[in-house]
Amino acid sequence: MTAISQACMGVACAAKEVSLKCPTCLKNGIESYFCSQDCFKRSWNDHKILHRQPSKNGTYDPFPDFKYTGPLRPAYPLSPRRAVPPDIPRPDYSVDGQPKSEMRARGNKITILNKQEIEGMRTVCRLTREVLDIAAAMVRPGITTDMIDEAVHNATIERNSYPSPLNYVHFPKSVCTSVNETICHGIPDQRVLVDGDIINIDVSVYHNGFHGDLNETYYVGSKALANPDAVLVVETARDCLNKAIEIVKPGMMFRDPGEVIQKLSNERGTSVVKTYCGHGVNRLFHCAPNVPHYAKNKAVGTAKPGMCFTIEPMINLGTWKDKTWPDDWTSTTTDGKLSAQFEHTLLVTEDGVEVLTARLPDSPGGPVPLLSSKPSHLVATK
């Protein structure tokens, strides 16, 4: 910029003409001027504190120095932690964030549920589906992910249940909301959903000593439904889960779903995230078995009647690799391209599988036809 008459914001600088604007402040709608690049660098440690101040819409990025992989940014401040009535039973980590029972149970021993425990899982998974459907019905341009968190929290406690994510290893919210390039574990905040977004809502409920776990990815507005890449990654994730469920029965090896998922993902030019996997779920939120979603994995164990676990493939439009934000939770694609995920809690029966978190006839969302069989970046190179 051309030099103008304006006091420099540099530390201990008396210059009255400036020729440089801070690029981060520009994005945040903050006016800041410096007389030179050297003055800007010298003042950086003091100046960057300003980036944590609210922008014109009252939100701010708490990690202004972080190298994000795509356009998504956190929108703080987070709302205060939501209260759970004292009479609602809660898991052992609800106070100090430490899932002590999970820590004690670490290993490859897989729980076989009895009839009473299976009924407990059926109940909690039905409630989990109800809560997810309430959240999904809200999805539209103009709402924030924090509004979804509030709805999930309220719907959960109305069912005399505890939102399993809340304070699990200090996760601050009652649901995970993962938008666009976020693979999983997105923290609900003040960001407003816009037409063209996709959002995964991951709901987990704790009721009468059992956890249910379920997530789906939804289109935000007509632009998302008209975006071939968005539809491809969402529907591939959905189809990968459905294909994997088809092979679940007694005797299935826990390494097998990854072969099915990887094959379909490869056929459509997408990739499978390797960092996260499906898991056992019952009285513990996460336990054995591990169920990887990629081919040639080393998972151990075989499915038997009475076992409960999730399959939850995360499918990326580009690379499978992930990068975690400084909040220690939000996992995003390293190339900034879209990611989608679907999850069900499954019960192995004597002759197959029962999808405990199955969709209802009036559940929001649902499959849509593919607009393209390959990601746009692959089609363009042909």
Q: Rounded to an integer, what distance in angstroms lies between the CA atom of residue 182 and that of residue 75?
A: 14
Which of 90, 98, 95, 189 is CA-nearest to residue 145?
A: 189
As a whole number of angstroms, the distance between CA 271 and CA 262 comes to 8
Average pLDDT over residues 49-75: 85
Contacts of 325 (CB under 8 A, 6+ apart): 63, 66, 68, 74, 331, 332
Q: What is the pLDDT of residues 211-233, one digit of tens each?
A: 999 999 999 999 999 999 999 99
Question: Which pLDDT value is given to residue 28?
Answer: 62
d(Cα 326, Cα 65) in Å, to the nearest integer? 10
CA triplet 215, 220, 223: central angle to 5 degrees? 140
Cβ count near 232 (within 10 Å): 24
- Going through 86-164 in order, the beta strands assigned E by DSSP cover 162-163
Query: Which residue has tokens 């990326």?
Result: 316
Confidence band, pLDDT 50/70/90 cuts, at residue 382 = very low
Q: Would you say 314 and 293 are in contact if contact means Cβ atoms under 8 Å apart?
A: yes
Q: Quick check: 381 pLDDT over 70?
A: no
pTM (whole model) above 0.75: yes
Burial of 354 (0-12, 13-18, 19+ CB in 10 A): middle
CA dihedral 262, 270, 311, 226 (to 10 degrees): -150
Cβ atoms of 366 and 262 within 8 Å: the answer is no
pLDDT over 60 (residue 236): yes
pLDDT at res. 54:
59
Percent helix, strand, coil in the chain (nearest 5)? 25, 20, 50
Per-residue pLDDT reduced to its tens digit, 71-114: 999 999 999 999 999 999 999 999 999 999 999 998 879 999 99
Give the residue from 269, 126, 321 showing the smallest Cα distance to 210: 126
pLDDT digits (tens, 9 = 90+) for 162-189: 999 999 999 999 999 999 999 999 999 9
For residue 89, the model assigns a pLDDT of 98
How far is residue 379's CA from residue 373's CA, in Å, rounded to a whole number?
A: 9
Q: Are 273 and 320 spatial neighbours (Cβ–Cβ below 8 Å)?
A: yes
- Do the beta carbons of residue 196 and residue 220 sit within 8 Å? yes
pLDDT tops 70 at residue 27:
no
DSSP string, 223-267: HHHT-HHHHHHHHHHHHHHHHHHHT-STT-BTTHHHHHHHHHHHH
Q: What is the DSSP string of 77-106?
A: PPPPPPP--TTS---TTTTTS--HHHHHT-
Query: Does position 15 have pLDDT exceeding 90, yes or no?
Result: no
